[in-house]
Amino acid sequence: TKNKTDFHGVRRKPGSKKKTHRFQLAMFRLFSKPVGMLPENKCLPGTTTFRCCCRVLIVRVLHFTTRNLSSKGRDEPIKDAPAKESKHYVLKGAPIYPPFPSGSEMISIGMGCFWCSESLFWKTKGIVSTHVGYQQGTTKNPTYREVCSGKTNHNEVTRIVYDSKVCPLEKILKIMFETHDPTQVMGQGNDRGTQYRSAIYYYNKDQKTIIDKVVKAYQEILNKKGKGKIATEVELADTFYYAEEYHQQYDAKPGSRQYCGLRPLGISFPDLSPKE
pLDDT tens per residue, range 37-73: 444 344 444 445 565 566 556 655 655 554 554 568 8
Upper half-sphere CA count for residue 23 (Cβ side, 13 Å): 12
Distance CA 245, CA 224 (A): 42
CB 240 within 8 A of CB 159: yes
Higher-confidence residue of 107 and 93: namely: 107
pLDDT tens column, 183-238 = 999 998 888 999 999 999 999 999 999 999 999 999 999 999 999 999 999 999 99
Nearest to 178 by CA among 242, 120, 118: 120
DSSP 247: G
217, amino acid identity: A
Please tell me the pTM assigned to this model. 0.74
Domains and their CATH numbers in the chain: 15-66 (no CATH), 104-252 (3.30.1060.10)
Q: What is the dihedral of CA 50, 54, 60, 61, to 10 degrees?
A: 140
Q: Mean pLDDT, the chain, as a whole number?
A: 82
Q: Which residues of 53-82 are buried (b: 16+ CB within 10 A; e: fewer)?
A: beebeeeeeeeeeeeeebbebeeeebeebb
**Would you please indicate which residues are annotated as catalytic (active-site) residues?**
113
